[in-house]
Amino acid sequence: MGETFDVYDEEDRWIGTAERSEVHARGLWHRSFHCWLARAGEGDEVTILFQQRSSGKDTNPDKFDITAAGHLVAGETPREAVRELEEELGVAIGFDQLTPFGTVREEDEGTALGIRYIDREVSYVYGCVSDFDLTRFRLQEEEVAGVYEARASDLIALMEGKLAELLARGIVSRGGLISPSEASVTRSAFVPRSESYYLDVFKRLRELAGR
């Protein structure tokens, strides 16, 4: 049996639980956890960390995405979902270290691994400024192919259409072995979300880092 999620109607009223495959097949509303990490660099620079989803994901495989994220399983709260950081990245951060950025309501659909999906989520969004070096990360390879970072100013320019692409540096994991990596990143290479979502998160992370 797969993961079971709490599901909700269009008015965000709880209507029961369903398995992950059914949730994505029927487009049932459910909840998720987003956590973005940033690092304060030299001078006015702030770098934002983002992951590349694994090729085996059932939604948006290979796309660049939130640093760490996951669905809330039935009965779970965002405080408990902070486990995603340790599960996906191998680093422990306490829930009280996170800054809430609010919630976002999103709808997406597509095909992954030959299966059509409809993804409807209400997500709790958080940010955190950390000093973690990427070499400390231990990636959950079935979920995360790599982790990259880029300057907040460049990511904002990318989402605003002022920059066509940027070069991000990071790490990839193969068979548990971490190695350095570079990636050319475009706007379309990110999980499709509203431009306002990305811009709001990136600007708030920059403010959180005091820049």
| pLDDT above 80 for 103 | yes
**Boundaries of domain holding 27:** 4-208
Helices (H), 78-119: 78-81, 83-89
| pLDDT above 80 for 161 | yes
- Give percent of the chain above pLDDT 70: 98
Higher pLDDT, 135 or 199: 199
Beta strands in the chain (DSSP E): 4-8, 14-19, 29-40, 46-53, 64-65, 68-71, 99-112, 115-129, 144-151, 166-174, 177-185
- Give residue-wise pLDDT tens across range 167-184: 999 999 988 889 999 999
Model pTM? 0.93
| pLDDT above 80 for 94 | yes
Helix/strand/coil for 126: strand
Rounded mean pLDDT, 137-155: 95
Rounded mean pLDDT, 9-34: 96
Distance CA 190, CA 62 (A): 9
| pLDDT above 70 for 1 | no
What confidence score (pLDDT) does residue 198 get?
A: 97
Residue pair 87/51 in contact (Cβ under 8 Å)? The answer is: no
| pLDDT above 90 for 30 | yes
Residue pair 51/146 in contact (Cβ under 8 Å)? The answer is: yes
Number of domains in the chain: 1
Residue pair 181/171 in contact (Cβ under 8 Å)? The answer is: yes
What confidence score (pLDDT) does residue 211 get?
A: 63
40: domain CATH number?
3.90.79.10
Pairing state between β 99-112 and 68-71: unpaired
What confidence score (pLDDT) does residue 112 get?
A: 87
What confidence score (pLDDT) does residue 51 get?
A: 97
- Give residue-wise pLDDT tens across range 3-18: 999 999 999 999 999 9
